[in-house]
Chain A
């Protein structure tokens, strides 16, 4: 392998289930986990004489996504039939968009560490309907459930701009954040709301010549871990295959491989005998869509600040760490809660600590967001100010916040009730310090001697003062007094 250099080239095809109340072309309820074939009507069953009618909300959600992905939104877009036969596709054609998708030529920025971003180009995004589900049974037959047939599906295709499993994962995570921020999809990979299919190959430079390995398309990925793992696996597999066979990419030798999660490997699926001829043509049952300037403006107004931009703003303006900023911006509602607290006049870093530590700890355990914890933004701001001002210490802050979740009382009241107000009055504390110094002459000597035991002795004295004040002394003030008295 020493004389080999390679570059990993990955493009992604993503399918996103839109979270509308009904299907793309009929009024059947979109509901997961229901009894098979209980959400089916003549339209999504493909009965003779049935006709599709477009779901306006699904279309608008898609345009919102296109805008968030910096795409050009087409002024004129249409629907096409993609013909193929399969039991989960009752009409034996899928209503999709072929040559005039509603959006194209966009990009998404993904974080690549160290505050850096990378631009991944979006080729196009279009809208289509999902198929039903085939389940293979233990017997020699398969079962077909059409509940999912007709679900609005946003298909996004990227350029092959990613060069590692890490980048692919970052892209997927970012896209999930975006669709959740926009409120257009639940985006849960495990539940099938988002499907990612990477197309991977390598560009190998050997002995000054360049070779491209055949593209492999990977399906059946149910987690980000699987997504990243599959890319990494493919890199190794394709390198190995190239070394053994020297096989290069030619037209028509793209393969489809399924991810085997248990075995952590990709497996070749049955190779298609010939390229599918989908015989696309404009669907005569559906009218084209004309995007007027007014309509586009209306939809654009529903855009929010996107997650990565928000994340970077927190780092730049609030001096938060990249990690903290990414945690806070994980979900839009949480980020907005944080922003409201900061707006109520508190120091952002302090608020961040409160919310990311105690706040999210409880929220995650409960499976809810910060806004559902029973906390009032003003109270949290006040609490942050109390810590900042030294009225209470950090661990007291955590305790009080937890209390605030179930109490109507504000932080000051709770602090008093729980006796958590720090003693910060220098005069008051000096008395305690004097007492401790008097009781611990040996330690005082150790500190003054400046030797090896000095630091530990100082810490011991501080601890004694904390004990004497039942933990209520402001450690900073005590420290200052100690310094004065001991030096």
Chain B
């Protein structure tokens, strides 16, 4: 039986701490006890900061006791995916090339969490440089699914999702470039939100696919996700791609969360469901039925360019990645090879030694796509297809409030099951990838289990900067079916 505190969500804990009924220090200690008990099985964390966390928790408790004003997440233990820069500890990106890299600055989201008085517990494991769908590509360690430790937690934010699912933190931040928040959230039975591109600052998020990356919350409930989003959203003058609030104001995501959306129209493409496993199909259909009972109307929509998402993504993301990762060269920071015979070897040997296979593969793909003679056929073509894919969503949202579909064609697969065929792994991103290409927000909400008892996620997509409505729609379902109440096997 675990500490009852760990059963709470962020909102509940935050309220209890603010009221002085629970001490943040107790919550932090409970989390570290959980980590002590489960981390050997799960492997969610690359690093933890117990002393620092306790100190921050203590400080927060004192402030509250003295009646001082504290932030919206005061005292709540939160984990960070290790591709988010922190000026404490290392920021490894799950890679040997940055294994000992200590960032001198904090990411914008870390600044915001600190300003909200959250307590950072540690940095979680990920596929190396966020490239992957299972966290098996981490160069540092393996993470396992709390529902079945012979299976993957999903990726690339596998560590964050597993930590939340195993009650080893109350909430976490992940990053999503092609589904890396939503898919692991669905594999681990928790909520994962990818905000609209530009909603959350990327300053301090180690870049993978710059025009696709977004940081978002992974939490136990939709309400918690809304609360975290309200803390991290907003314009940052250090990120040119973060939207100006005069163009898209930060809504009251948390305040309005329980207000249902009247006359809800849900867009669906029937054949999408058919691409998923039986257990997933059934769970999704049951979820849609719940919405129908609440008065929602299902609208059939068409997304003719959807099938080209993977092709376009793996040109655009890898092209950007090949450029973003060029800086890891052993010259100014990061791993340097031991005995380079000239300065060119500093580059090629350091990178060969420091990068894992998937990263190398994507760098090669991207370099090829951008190289002279291939740019038009691959990269430029992909940018045009991207425009068409986005067009599909824009048209669809003229007819509906949101779009629903599976998150993944399968539930959590076994460790090692898909690692021998990279293309096979890429193809499993089919439901999530188009969302990043279009820049719209998407959330994964637990909607049941398959025959094997593995979690299934329902994916809900909203129009650009429509997170407020999107989260309310997700909350409508959650208020009817609290799948989150069932605990992961490891607990």
Residues of A within 8 A of B (CB): 42, 45-54, 81, 83, 85, 87, 90-93, 142, 144, 146, 277, 279-281, 284-287
Contact = CB atoms under 8 A, between A and B. Distances in A.
Contacts of B237: 53
B367 interface: yes
B323 A49 contact: no
B103 A48 contact: yes
B90 to A, nearest CB: 11
13 contacts: A42-B104, A47-B85, A48-B98, A51-B203, A83-B323, A142-B343, A279-B367, A280-B370, A281-B370, A284-B210, A285-B207, A285-B210, A285-B241
B375 A46 contact: no
A47 B333 contact: yes
Contacts of B209: 284
A49 B326 contact: no
Interface residues of B, number: 43
A49 B107 contact: yes
B320 interface: yes
Interface of B: 83-85, 91, 93, 98, 101, 103-105, 107, 202-207, 209-211, 237-241, 319-320, 322-323, 326-327, 329, 331-333, 343, 347, 367, 370-372, 375, 379
A91 B370 contact: no
Given A53-B238, A281-B323, A87 B203 contact: no
Contacts of A50: 203
Majority-rule SS of B interface residues: loop
A92 B240 contact: no
Contacts of B84: 49
Contacts of A144: 331-332
Contacts of B331: 87, 90, 144
Interchain residue pairs A-B with the least CB separation, the first 7: A92-B326, A284-B210, A279-B370, A284-B211, A48-B206, A49-B204, A49-B85
A277 B103 contact: no
Given A48-B85, A91-B326, A85 B347 contact: yes
A171 to B, nearest CB: 32
A129 B323 CA distance: 16
Contacts of A48: 83, 85, 91, 93, 98, 101, 103, 206-207, 327
Contacts of A52: 240
A85 B209 CA distance: 20
Given A51-B202, A85-B347, A42 B323 contact: no
Contacts of A51: 202-203, 207, 238-241
Nearest to A91: B327
Nearest to B332: A90
Nearest to A27: B238
B327 A90 contact: yes
Contact of A85 (B93, B326, B371, B372): B326
Contact of A92 (B206, B329, B371): B329
Most buried by B among A42, A48, A51, A90: A48
Contacts of A83: 323, 326, 370
Nearest to A46: B327
A277 B372 contact: yes
Nearest to A285: B210
B343 A87 contact: yes
Given A49-B203, A279-B372, 17 more contacts: A45-B332, A46-B332, A47-B85, A48-B98, A49-B202, A53-B239, A83-B326, A83-B370, A90-B327, A92-B326, A142-B343, A144-B331, A279-B367, A281-B323, A281-B375, A281-B379, A284-B210
A84 to B, nearest CB: 9
B86 to A, nearest CB: 10
Contacts of B370: 83, 279-281
Contact of A277 (B101, B327, B371): B371
B319 A281 contact: yes
Contacts of A93: 323, 326
Contacts of A81: 323
Contacts of A53: 237-240
B240 A286 contact: yes
A330 to B, nearest CB: 40
Contacts of B326: 83, 85, 91-93
B238 A49 contact: no
A72 B10 CA distance: 57
Most buried by B among A42, A49, A92: A49
B239 A284 contact: no
A285 B240 CA distance: 7
A287 B241 contact: yes
A83 B371 CA distance: 10
B71 to A, nearest CB: 23
